[in-house]
Amino acid sequence: MPLYEYFCEPCNGVFEELRPMREASEPVPCPECYKDAKRIMPTSFAAFTFREGYPRRIPDDGKYYHLGKKVTKPVTSGRPNEHPEIDKPEPKKRKLKGEKQEIADMKEAAMKEALHDSSGNLVQPKEVESMVEQGRILR
């Protein structure tokens, strides 16, 4: 009997089933949820499959999917709905009090046209903060 591929929509999963050719186009119950899964053509249908318990897209490019987003690793720790590649926003760097004062001082210097960047150009007061963050002003 030939091997066919079936796609279960609720599970977003693909499974293979050995079936007689005349029954190939009929739906097969999904092994996960027992709902009818439709047959797919592996070459023309980019679907999800389960590998190591995580949905992955066919053709398999070695990537995993988490909540519909492409990630390089499955979730191994933390809360199941959080993925380090998706749910951890870059923590916003908080400026220290001293740093704020320093920027204020530099703005003052810039207003007096006394502040220069690392290549010797005059710095405008409104540019001070972003240039400090990018490390373009020698402190």
Residues forming the site for Zn ion (CB under 5 A)? 8, 11, 30, 32-33
Closer to Zn ion at the Cβ: 16 or 32?
32
Nearest distance from residue 35's CB to Zn ion, in Å? Answer: 5
Q: Which residues pair with 17 in a beta bridge?
A: 4
Cis amide bond preceding 42, omega within 30? no
Nearest distance from residue 30's CB to Zn ion, in Å? Answer: 3
In the bound state, the residue with its beta carbon closest to Zn ion is 30
Nearest distance from residue 24's CB to Zn ion, in Å? Answer: 19
Closer to Zn ion at the Cβ: 32 or 108?
32
Q: Cα 48 to chain center, whole Å?
A: 17
Q: Which residues pair with 54 in a beta bridge?
A: 51
What number of residues does the chain have?
139
Nearest distance from residue 18's CB to Zn ion, in Å? Answer: 18
Closer to Zn ion at the Cβ: 13 or 75?
13
Closer to Zn ion at the Cβ: 33 or 122?
33
Give the residue among 3, 83, 12 at the shortest CA–CA distance from 46: 12
Check: CB of residue 33 under 8 Å from CB of residue 66.
no
Alpha-carbon gap, residue 86 to 84, rounded angstroms: 6
